[in-house]
């Protein structure tokens, strides 16, 4: 620890600290050392504790210390300042408490001597103080303490502090959960999700501690809609984690979500988010290794049932239901399930995709969902499904076409491509997924108006539009050249030539480069 220097002028300290905190570039160890040579860390810490009524003192010194501790040199001084860190963790000031939490993170993140860092955390009983800040602090303090606890759990040996072999009521997350306020419970559950996301090994500890099940059960308890929605959002985050599927599928999450979706008394937003989580989970192929078929059917039946309420189904909820079905259908097993159920849940997606007189949002969601089911996001080898599912997909599209004035699938797809850009781009995706199927390829190639739109270099003016149109052309061209029947058909030679030209020119070079034209004007005369 540097020597004290009590003769430093407070105004001079504030001015220098402000300059250091607001320096636009990153600080080096040299600049941090130079600053602390002028103003020793002990002086700064004591200035914070004196609570002098100096305008801007606390905020300026806190900002300055945050930047100091982000340097390796500043972080190296933290072990010698642990008594002040502990005082800061219990301070009344939220800014000081937040700084103390961030200082703990710096200690753990910037040290090569992890054993010493962990020993300091144990010696100064830092973890219980972090938990108190998590539950009782303001939003910024709670977030900073959560980051510090995550850093602790990542550090070798730190996970044993967070999840000790022997239960300590003061730090046991289940005990804290049972006696905390609604806000405190949500924050603890958010911590559980953050810890769960660290790695598969930490997730295993979370699961074995029964904390995941508590997270799932929390969504069903109480009548606080905001709290329930917050927990649903946390489940959504957990479903995003790469290893989340394996562990979440071992809980009752699918049964919970299905019950919310099927509950007509539940808030629409809760049903919508529950459907989205189901879609996210069932979009992953590996979940079908862990979940039994009855649970999967319960989910699809619950979503399917929402469409049976007719006009009372709110537009936003309808779009979420379609997106959820599309996410489920993006996996092979999910697509098979949607197409092979009785009646097939995919029928709602097909109906929405070609609902030309409905809301644009519903049709857009339906087109993207149908594109997923058709295999657009899947690798080329995994686009085609089994015979029963493929037959169901073809039958649904033809049946829908027969009920409209378009009469054929090509008529439906042409109508999609004739709409505004957002719908048209979704149409490109859908065609890209469908065209590998011989029946769809024939429908497209036999419709000259469609080929003209798809191969017209002036159809799209944006980068995303050009790329989507090109990808669509490339998919059609690949399917065409792979068909021994069509490639030998002389009536389709012009189609093949147009597609080949687009593929050759690429997504951006299709338009002819126009030469600069000189402009000749008569001279103004006065």
CA–CA dist 13, 330 (Å, integer): 60
**Residue 297 and residue 314 in contact, taking contact as beta carbons nearer than 8 Å:** no
Q: Which pLDDT band, with edges at 50, 70 and 90, does 513 fall under?
A: very low
**Residue 147 and residue 101 in contact, taking contact as beta carbons nearer than 8 Å:** yes
| The two structure tokens encoding residue 180 | 């905390």
Q: What is the 3-state secondary structure (H, E, C) of 52-78?
A: CCCCCHHHHHHHHHHHHCCCHHHHHCH
Query: Average of pLDDT values for 75-98?
Result: 92
HSE, CB side, 13 Å, CA atoms: give it for residue 130. 29
The pLDDT tens digits for 261-319 are 999 888 899 999 999 999 999 998 888 888 888 889 999 999 999 998 766 788 899 99
Q: Which residue has the higher pLDDT, 15 or 312?
A: 15
Mean pLDDT of the chain: 89
**Residue 339 and residue 392 in contact, taking contact as beta carbons nearer than 8 Å:** yes
CA–CA dist 160, 410 (Å, integer): 62
CA–CA dist 346, 369 (Å, integer): 9
In the chain the first and final C-alpha atoms are separated, in Å, by 84
CA–CA dist 280, 242 (Å, integer): 11
Q: Which pLDDT band, with edges at 50, 70 and 90, does 103 fall under?
A: very high
HSE, CB side, 13 Å, CA atoms: give it for residue 35. 28
Neighbours of 143 (CB within 10 A): 16
Query: Average of pLDDT values for 71-78?
Result: 90
Burial class of residue 37, CB neighbours in 10 A (0-12, 13-18, 19+)? exposed
Specify whether the backbone of 261 is left (phi greater than 0), alpha (psi in -120 to 50) or beta.
alpha
**Residue 385 and residue 393 in contact, taking contact as beta carbons nearer than 8 Å:** yes
Instruction: Give yes or no for residue 522 having a pLDDT over 70.
Output: no
Model pLDDT, residue 358: 57
The pLDDT tens digits for 415-453 are 999 999 999 999 999 999 999 999 999 999 989 999 999
Q: Which residue has the higher pLDDT, 134 or 494?
A: 134
Model pLDDT, residue 311: 67
| The two structure tokens encoding residue 171 | 């730090």
Q: Which pLDDT band, with edges at 50, 70 and 90, does 526 fall under?
A: very low
CA–CA dist 463, 466 (Å, integer): 5
Cα 471 to the center of its chain, rounded Å: 25
The pLDDT tens digits for 224-268 are 788 888 988 999 899 889 898 889 988 889 998 999 999 988 889
Concatenating the DSSP letter of every residue in 5-36 gives: -TT--HHHHHHHHHHHHT-SSPPPHHHHHHHH
Model pLDDT, residue 51: 57
Query: Average of pLDDT values for 133-159?
Result: 95
Burial class of residue 337, CB neighbours in 10 A (0-12, 13-18, 19+)? buried
The pLDDT tens digits for 458-475 are 888 899 999 999 999 999
| The two structure tokens encoding residue 483 | 């068909």
Query: Average of pLDDT values for 159-176?
Result: 87
The pLDDT tens digits for 371-411 are 999 999 999 899 999 999 999 999 999 999 999 888 899 99
Instruction: Give yes or no for residue 141 having a pLDDT over 50.
Output: yes
Residue entry with tokens 């429908």: 443
**Residue 441 and residue 483 in contact, taking contact as beta carbons nearer than 8 Å:** yes
Q: Which pLDDT band, with edges at 50, 70 and 90, does 113 fall under?
A: confident
Nearest Cα neighbor of 500 from 473, 479, 467 is 473
Q: What is the 3-state secondary structure (H, E, C) of 334-402?
A: HHHHHHHCCCCCHHHHHHHHCCCCCCHHHHHHHHHHHHHHHCCCCCHHHCCCCHHHHHHHHHHHHHHHH
CA–CA dist 89, 96 (Å, integer): 8
Model pLDDT, residue 356: 72
CA–CA dist 367, 113 (Å, integer): 55
| The two structure tokens encoding residue 266 | 């539940």
Q: Mutual orientation of helices 448-455 and 493-505 as an angle, nearest 10°? A: 20
Compute, in degrees rounded to 10, the torsion defined by CA atoms 119, 121, 122, 126: 170
Which one of 382-396, 478-492, 508-522 scores highest in mean pLDDT? 382-396
- The CA-atom distances, in angstroms, between 289 and each of 96, 123, 210, 293 are 49, 45, 21, 10
Model pLDDT, residue 338: 96
Q: Which pLDDT band, with edges at 50, 70 and 90, does 15 fall under?
A: very high
Percent of the chain with pLDDT over 70: 93
CA–CA dist 2, 8 (Å, integer): 14
Percent of the chain with pLDDT over 90: 61
CA–CA dist 271, 257 (Å, integer): 8
Query: Average of pLDDT values for 341-353?
Result: 94
Q: Which pLDDT band, with edges at 50, 70 and 90, does 165 fall under?
A: confident
């Amino acid at each position: 620890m540097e020597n004290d220097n009590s003769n430093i002028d407070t105004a001079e300290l504030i001015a220098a600290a402000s300059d250091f905190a607001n320096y636009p570039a990153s600080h080096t160890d040299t600049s941090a050392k130079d600053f602390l040579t002028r103003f020793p860390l002990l002086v700064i810490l004591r200035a914070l504790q004196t609570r002098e009524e100096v305008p801007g003192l606390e905020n300026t010194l806190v900002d300055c210390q945050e930047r100091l501790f982000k340097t390796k040199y500043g972080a190296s001084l933290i072990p010698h300042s642990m008594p002040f860190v502990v005082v800061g963790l219990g301070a009344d000031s939220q800014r000081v408490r937040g700084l103390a939490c961030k200082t703990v993170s710096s200690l753990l993140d910037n040290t090569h001597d992890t054993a010493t860092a962990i020993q300091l955390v144990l010696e100064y009983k830092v973890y219980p103080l972090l938990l108190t800040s998590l539950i009782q602090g303001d939003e910024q303090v709670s977030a900073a303490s959560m980051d510090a606890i995550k850093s602790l759990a990542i550090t070798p040996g730190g996970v044993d502090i967070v999840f000790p072999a022997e239960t300590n009521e003061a730090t046991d997350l289940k005990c804290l959960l049972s006696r905390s306020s609604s806000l405190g419970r949500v924050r603890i559950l958010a911590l559980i999700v953050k810890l769960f996301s660290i790695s598969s090994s930490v997730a295993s500890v979370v699961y074995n501690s029964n904390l995941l099940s508590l997270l799932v059960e929390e969504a069903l308890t109480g009548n606080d809609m905001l709290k329930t929605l917050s927990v649903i959002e946390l489940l959504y985050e957990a479903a995003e984690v790469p290893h989340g599927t394996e562990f979440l599928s071992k809980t009752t999450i699918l049964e919970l979500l299905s019950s919310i979706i099927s509950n007509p008394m539940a808030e629409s937003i809760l049903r919508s988010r529950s459907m989205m989580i189901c879609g996210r989970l069932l979009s992953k192929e590996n979940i079908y290794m862990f979940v039994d078929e009855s649970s999967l059917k319960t989910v699809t039946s619950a979503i399917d049932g929402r469409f049976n309420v007719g006009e009372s189904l709110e537009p936003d909820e309808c779009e979420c239901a379609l997106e959820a079905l599309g996410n489920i259908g993006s996996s092979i097993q999910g697509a098979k399930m949607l197409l092979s159920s009785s009646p097939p849940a995919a029928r709602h997606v097909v109906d929405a995709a070609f609902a030309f007189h409905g809301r644009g949002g519903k049709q857009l969601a339906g087109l993207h969902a149908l594109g997923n089911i058709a295999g657009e996001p899947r690798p080329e080898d995994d686009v085609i499904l089994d015979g029963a599912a493929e037959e169901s997909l073809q039958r649904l599209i033809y049946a829908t076409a027969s009920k409209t004035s378009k009469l054929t699938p090509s008529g439906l797809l042409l109508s999609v491509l004739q709409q505004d850009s957002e719908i048209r781009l979704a149409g490109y995706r859908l065609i890209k997924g469908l065209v590998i199927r011989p029946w769809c390829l024939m429908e497209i190639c036999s419709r000259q108006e469609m080929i003209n739109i798809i191969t017209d270099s002036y159809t799209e003016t944006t980068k995303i539009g050009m790329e989507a149109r090109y990808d669509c052309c490339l998919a059609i061209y690949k399917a065409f050249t792979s068909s021994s029947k069509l490639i030998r058909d002389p009536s389709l030679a012009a189609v093949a030539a147009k597609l080949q030209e687009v593929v050759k020119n690429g997504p951006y070079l299709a338009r002819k480069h126009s030469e600069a034209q000189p402009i000749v004007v008569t001279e103004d005369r006065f």
